[in-house]
Structure 1
Amino acid sequence: MKTISKFYLFLLIVVATPLFAQFNVNNLSIEAGYGYTGAISPYQKLYKSNFSGLNHYNVGIRYMFNEKFGAKVAYKLDHFVNDPGGKVGITYSAVAVSGIYNVGKQLGLTYLTRDKVGINAHVDAGVAFGYMIGQNQHEKIGVVGIGLTPMYNISNNFALTADFTHNFTMKQHYGFDGILLNKDYTPQSGGYYNFSVGLIYYLGENKYHSDWY
């Protein structure tokens, strides 16, 4: 029985070590981006607007457990407003946690480009606090997202990034126009997307980050 227990302990160590091991590389980064937010649905066609525009902001901190897997915590701000004017709509202030997978490493892209181009895939889960513009109304909405983040390595400390994320909203009571969807307060699901460009700053005392190691 003791032999079996020792075997399972040994097996656990063998499996877990590659996941968390880092060999003289940095694994922490700070990221920020700005870009386009696009409302898909729901919103009413009362205005000559699609409630979309260059109104997306994000900032986050990412930790890579190894060269392929990591996690990220981010704050995102999206304004859905009528254009022109900006007096009708809703603002989403969201906090999200993401699972990160380095697709570029898996496909050998970083090797082919000599550590210049990479791609991260991510799955997000978070909460958005919606504030209706010009109204004393607000609500809390669950948001799930999936996206891709191409990266271009500038130096050991910086990388340029672009990101496309498709977001799904859960139990949305107000549309992106800030109007109540149903008088009986029945919620609906919805969706919106983000396209942003930004900058990654790598933290740590080592020369390389696990994105490019």
Structure 2
Amino acid sequence: MRFIIVLLLFFLPFNSTQAQQFNNFSLELGGGAHFPFNPKDSKDQTSLSNYISMKQFQVSGRYMFNEKIGLKGQYGYFYFQDKENHLNKTTMHKITLEAVYNLGEALNFNFSLQERFTLLVHGGAGISLLEPKDRDVYEKIGNLQLGVTPLVKISDQVAFYLDVTPVLNLMQHYSYGGNLLDADYKAQTGFFLTANAGFVFYLGNRNHHADWY
């Protein structure tokens, strides 16, 4: 938290002049698929591929301090369910805070390409609330993630995005089917991949957003 406050204070003076030239805020809405890889429940012989599904969506708010650097807060909803046994299921709510870097700007894409296309990289940490089956209490899981987001500009107000983000769950006690992984309550490392598509809506009364300035 102290690091984030210092980062904000560092960029505020610079941003006070830049904010007069482009919009800083954007809202991202999208959904897609998730692909769990770990942990594997030793008591359940079901393949983790059974839990691949399109039952997820994500909402993000992003603020760009300048053309290259910003912060993003995100909420994600994930529903894991065994395709062969619908009683094996979990629900996950994930909240993350990430730094964002406009790699397209840094790589100095040629103007004709950058006019409609750019590439963001993002990474950060957060917390997930995992609700196992037949339980009313959520398990709190810390997570780390790092992803890439290609953007295609549709207009000055809207862009289309794709996103691929691996997510690392630091201490996971329940499988994606909702079963306790270890009788002694020993935690395991969880890992799943998200692939999403959606739209970015640029907010503000300037003609351009920092993504395209």
TM (normalized to structure 2)? 0.87
Residue matched to 2:5: none
Residue matched to 1:47: 46
Q: CA RMSD in A?
A: 2.1
Unmatched tracts of structure 1, length 5 or more: 1-13
- What CA distance in whole angstroms lies between the structure 2 residues aligned with 1:142 and 1:105? 31
Is residue 26–residue 206 contact of structure 1 (8 Å, CA) maintained in 2?
yes
Is residue 36–residue 48 contact of structure 2 (8 Å, CA) maintained in 1?
no
SS in 2 for 1:25: coil
Is residue 117–residue 151 contact of structure 2 (8 Å, CA) maintained in 1?
yes
Residue matched to 2:202: 202
Q: Give 1:15 shift.
A: 8.8
Residue matched to 1:11: none
The verdict on how the C-alpha distance between 1:120 and 1:46 changes in structure 2, with shifts beyond 3 A counting, is same
- What CA distance in whole angstroms lies between the structure 2 residues aligned with 1:121 and 1:187? 30
**Residues 80-130 of structure 1: per-residue CA shift (max 9 Å, x gap):** 110145321211101111110000101122634141001100002111000
Is residue 11–residue 65 contact of structure 2 (8 Å, CA) maintained in 1?
no
Is residue 61–residue 74 contact of structure 1 (8 Å, CA) maintained in 2?
yes
Farther off after superposition, 37-46 or 106-115 = 106-115
SS in 2 for 1:211: helix
Q: Give 1:178 shift.
A: 1.2
Residue matched to 1:33: 30
Residue matched to 1:88: 88
**Residues 51-71 of structure 1: per-residue CA shift (max 9 Å, x gap):** 111122100110000000000
Letter in 2 for 1:131: E
Farther off after superposition, 152-161 or 77-86 = 77-86
User: Does the alignment pair 1:60 with 2:68?
Assistant: no
Is residue 110–residue 118 contact of structure 1 (8 Å, CA) maintained in 2?
no
Unmatched tracts of structure 2, length 5 or more: 1-9
The verdict on how the C-alpha distance between 1:109 and 1:63 changes in structure 2, with shifts beyond 3 A counting, is same
Residue matched to 1:151: 151
Letter in 2 for 1:47: T
**Residues 34-62 of structure 1: per-residue CA shift (max 9 Å, x gap):** 10011011122422552111122100110
Residue matched to 2:6: none
**Aligned length in residues:** 201
The verdict on how the C-alpha distance between 1:49 and 1:42 changes in structure 2, with shifts beyond 3 A counting, is closer
Note the 1:1-213 alignment, pairs <5 A: 17-18=13-14, 21-22=17-18, 23-44=20-41, 45-47=44-46, 50=49, 51-109=51-109, 111-213=111-213
The verdict on how the C-alpha distance between 1:110 and 1:208 changes in structure 2, with shifts beyond 3 A counting, is farther
SS in 2 for 1:39: strand
Runs of 4+ displaced beyond 6 Å? none
TM (normalized to structure 1)? 0.87
Letter in 1 for 2:46: Y
Residue matched to 1:4: none
Farther off after superposition, 104-113 or 18-27 = 18-27
SS in 2 for 1:104: helix
Identity across aligned pairs (percent)?
A: 29
